[in-house]
Amino acid sequence: MLFYEPLFLFLFGPAVYLLYLYFGEVRARRAVILLAASVAFYAWSEPVFIFLVFASVGLDLYVAQKIAALSIGDPTVIPDASHKRSDRESRLASEAVIALDSRSGLRPAGNDARKLWLALGVVGNLAILIYYKYTGFLALNFDALLKALTLPGINIPQIALPIGVSFIVFEKITYLVDVYRGVTAPARSPLLYGLYVFFFPKLLAGPIIKYHDIARQFEAMPHADVDDFIVGFSRFMLGVVKKLLFADTLASGADLIFAHDVSSLGFAEAWAGVLFFTFQIYFDFSGYSDMAIGLARMFGFRLLENFNMPYVATSITDFWRRWHISLTSWIREYLYFPLGGNRRGEARTYLNLWICFFASGLWHGAAWTYIAWGAYNGVFLVLDRLFLVNRLQRLPDWLANVIAMIIVIVGWTFFRATSLSQAGALLALMANPWAHASAPVAIPPEYVVVALTAAAICVAQRLSLYVKDFNWGRAAQHYALASNSALSMLFLAALAKGLADPFKPFIYFRF
């Protein structure tokens, strides 16, 4: 079920929202309604996989209780003083636990048992991800290796990838690790943890929410007010506009180029296809995040932001502070710091950075193109730390932004390509201004107009940084009538387009 489908917009969404408001005075009922609605929402698309998620939720609850029981009196555990911690506080807590745990004199007998329980929970969740997402990829490559050695091949299993499985697994691992670290207490009830896992606004493609960041909200089950509805629905409308008017149109342009034989393309066509995708993935994923954050706000919940104008970045490090913020935060806290962070010398820091983004590429998809994209980003993050950021800071911001965007665009070529060979051929064309298409691709004018408009929006975001104290949200509030009228008209146009054209799923649904 997609957020902008008629079934959701005109039946499921309003029905759930009215029930939530009707039982507004009874907190427990609100929680039950949201959990039931979230389970139904996911079951609509994944009626079989949902039972496996239920089973893994039960395992998480049991493992968390075991870890918490063994943590009593353990000096390596920093007690949970509050569910609401900043990223810096969580990082310090994580590093303190790692430091304490590394000293054998402070390692009580119960600590080994806690580690075993944590390993059981993490391995159980990763097993779900590996089986559904990577079994086919591993089998395919093993089959190729056997055939290269002139040995009999193997059957390649056809396993359907459940929607949102990567996001679900990452959030569940976050909960177990935070209970182990003492960052959060175990969920007070299965209802609250089930709601954390299944909460439908963020269920399919994030943002990736840490349990300690939202536990208090789920316990309080806030009663949505008029402001929540207005702010939330406006944000939801913005997401629909981004998705249907921009991302889907740009997707058609990217598909048109990438479906062609690369040998028939030229310099202009190669750049056009990659630029279409560059804007498509931003408007597609930020559009989903807007819808998720807006829907959650309509119910009275505040989700953390997932994007902060990433295409104004002046380095790859800056880009990853602005793009898919929840994933970057997850990698930092649950992979980079456990690997040692920057505490074990420069060489190990560079290796840790590269490993983290290599893993990020693998998380995005079971294909060599995603792995290459992750490794590519890891290389530039290391180069940033070595010298590149310092060099870029000496340049005018606009020029540093252009250089950073060229690096990002080259990376998106790997991400969108269907194979490494296609990516390499496209990059060769993009580096050769004298390459001409043997059969020019007819790109519809509306695709070009939308791409230029998307580029203008990103340029406007860059220009806004030069205006003192400028804020897009405050500007929209200051000109509320004009901005709301324009947004409403664009929302209606987006709905009309969505009803007329075939639905295109969000890019990140397959991750």
436 is catalytic: no
Give dist(CA 226, CA 139) in Å, integer: 53
% helix / strand / coil in the chain, to the nearest 5?
Answer: 75, 0, 25
Q: Alpha-carbon distance 332 to 381, whole Å?
A: 13
Name every residue whose Cβ is closer than 8 Å to that of residue 77 and which is 6 or more positions away in sequence: 71, 97, 180, 181, 182
Distance CA 197, CA 177 (A): 15
- The amino acid at 59: L
Euclidean distance between CA atoms 288 and 186, whole angstroms: 30
Distance, CA of 243 to CA of 285 (rounded, Å): 8
Residue with tokens 């896992």: 197
Catalytic residue among 212, 364, 436, 478: 364
Q: Which residues contact 128 (CB under 8 A, 6 or more apart)?
A: 52, 56, 165, 169
**Closest to 290 measured CA to CA, from 153, 455, 86, 494:** 494
What is the rounded CA–CA span in Å between residue 140 and residue 134?
10
Distances (CA, A) of 46 to 42, 196, 204, 332, 423: 6, 18, 11, 31, 33
Q: According to DSSP H, which parts of 46-108 are helical?
A: 49-71, 87-101
The structure tokens listed for 314 are 């002046």
Tokens matching residue 489: 């008209």
Residue 254 CA to residue 278 CA, distance in Å, equals 9
Measure CA of the first residue to CA of the last residue in the chain; give whole Å: 16
Whole-angstrom Cα distance, residue 507 to residue 511?
A: 8
Could you give the CA distance from residue 31 to residue 25 in angstroms, rounded to a whole number?
A: 12
Catalytic residues: 364
